[in-house]
Structure 1
């Protein structure tokens, strides 16, 4: 199902994703500036974390926690990977096969490493204020 939204509607879109995603492994597809990190920030908030969300472009992974300190989610940005072996080098499998939420930006960089059970979220820029989201 496709949904158009503006930034003011992010809480509702985040709630929709959390409530309807079939899998906790979410692959975010979209061009630079489509709002992937902004949407992930809204999802992390919807899941109950108060932590600051930022793109893990240089560190590759950020970890977000629940109020009690347990891990809530992992957030990856694979944009800077040159090949999949770099993801293997930092132990991507350990993150992908647990029961924790995993948010992945630029998942096309690790296609053969993705588990079968992922939810793909495609994001498109409609105009300066409007975005289109499709979750499959």
Structure 2
């Protein structure tokens, strides 16, 4: 994987951005870093759609993880760890089994479980620009 992929976009270009991200050589565990409201969930929805998920995604804020299946049977896990109280709580729910399952894992608020995220993962950082556009960096 190249060290870094960077793109500036507006939210109405999100499907194209998702396509470009998925065209990169990626790890299947991807962490998403951004302030609240910048578009992590929106991007994850677009990525899941590009991967062939038919049933539309919502943020798993209350369940911590949502599971989706793509048209060709791949599993996509979407984690929202914002409401997590401790790493122990995540460990107790078996989060590491998800992370090492070989399936896609899209993780919002990974800083809540820094010791549980696999070392071998990709990271997406999104910053909102003053004009409303976003700048995304994939590492």
Aligned in 2, Cα 1:110/1:50: closer, same or farther, shift over 3 Å?
same
Q: Provide structure 2 residue ranges, at least 5 long, that are not aligned to the other structure.
A: none
How many Å apart are 1:129 and its aligned residue? 3.3
Deviations 1:30-72 (A, max 9, x none): 000010000000000000111111110110000111235x342
Report SS of the residue matched to 1:42.
Answer: helix
How many Å apart are 1:17 and its aligned residue? 1.3
Structure 1 runs of 4+ with >4 Å offset: none
The alignment covers a number of residue pairs equal to 135
**How far apart, in 2, do the equivalents of 1:3 and 1:127 lie?**
16
Aligned to 1:38: 42
Answer yes or no: is the 8 Å Cα contact 1:14–1:43 preserved in 2.
Answer: yes
Report SS of the residue matched to 1:112.
Answer: coil
Deviations 1:8-33 (A, max 9, x none): 21111101111214201010000000
Aligned in 2, Cα 1:128/1:81: closer, same or farther, shift over 3 Å?
farther
Aligned in 2, Cα 1:22/1:66: closer, same or farther, shift over 3 Å?
closer
Structure showing the higher helix proportion among its residues: 1
**How far apart, in 1, do the equivalents of 2:44 and 2:83 lie?**
19
2:109 counterpart of 1:106: yes
**How far apart, in 1, do the equivalents of 2:25 and 2:135 lie?**
17
RMSD: 1.3
Q: TM-score, normalised by structure 1?
A: 0.93
Answer yes or no: is the 8 Å Cα contact 1:26–1:102 preserved in 2.
Answer: yes
